[in-house]
Structure 1
Amino acid sequence: MINDINIGGVFIPGLLIVALFTLVCTLLLVPLFSFSRLYRRLPGRPLINFSTYIVTYFLLLQGLNALGLLA
């Protein structure tokens, strides 16, 4: 189960940590997508970037759930 993390008396929710990790993963994935010719021709690339974040977040939560770290 993802618990709150205590840093200097400030509780940070576990899902916020997962969301920040997902943001880092997305920031690493988007430049890899930019090498693709198809990605350059897609309209609304900010929407594609946001969708990448949502899909990455979902997959990360599914992985944590499969490992038993998420209740």
Structure 2
Amino acid sequence: MINDINIGGVYFPGLLVIALVTLVCILLFVPLFSFSWLYRCLPCRPLMGLSVCIVTFFLLLQGLNALGLLA
């Protein structure tokens, strides 16, 4: 179970915080991908953005779980 995170006395759901971190990562990754010639040749770029978001969210969850930060 993912614990709530206490910031200044306000409890935030753990998945919400991870989703916000994922959003920040996506805002950094997608411009980097746009420099790639392969990314420019894709027929459906929004689908690529969605898949990158899902994979990043999954990797963050797995990494935090491996570090023991999620109980």
TM range (shorter): 0.7 to 0.9
TM-score by length of 2: 0.87
User: Hey, which bits of structure 1, 4+ residues long, moved more than 4 A?
Assistant: 7-10
TM-score by length of 1: 0.87
Unmatched 5+ stretches in structure 1: none
CA drift of 1:3 comes to 2.2
Equivalent pairs counted in the alignment come to 71
Counterpart amino acid of 2:33?
A: F
Query: 1:61 maps to what in 2?
Result: 61
Aligned-residue Cα RMSD (Å) equals: 1.7
Counterpart amino acid of 2:19?
A: A
CA drift of 1:8 comes to 5.9
Question: Residues 33-52 of structure 1 correspond to what in structure 2 (within 5 A)?
Answer: 33-52=33-52
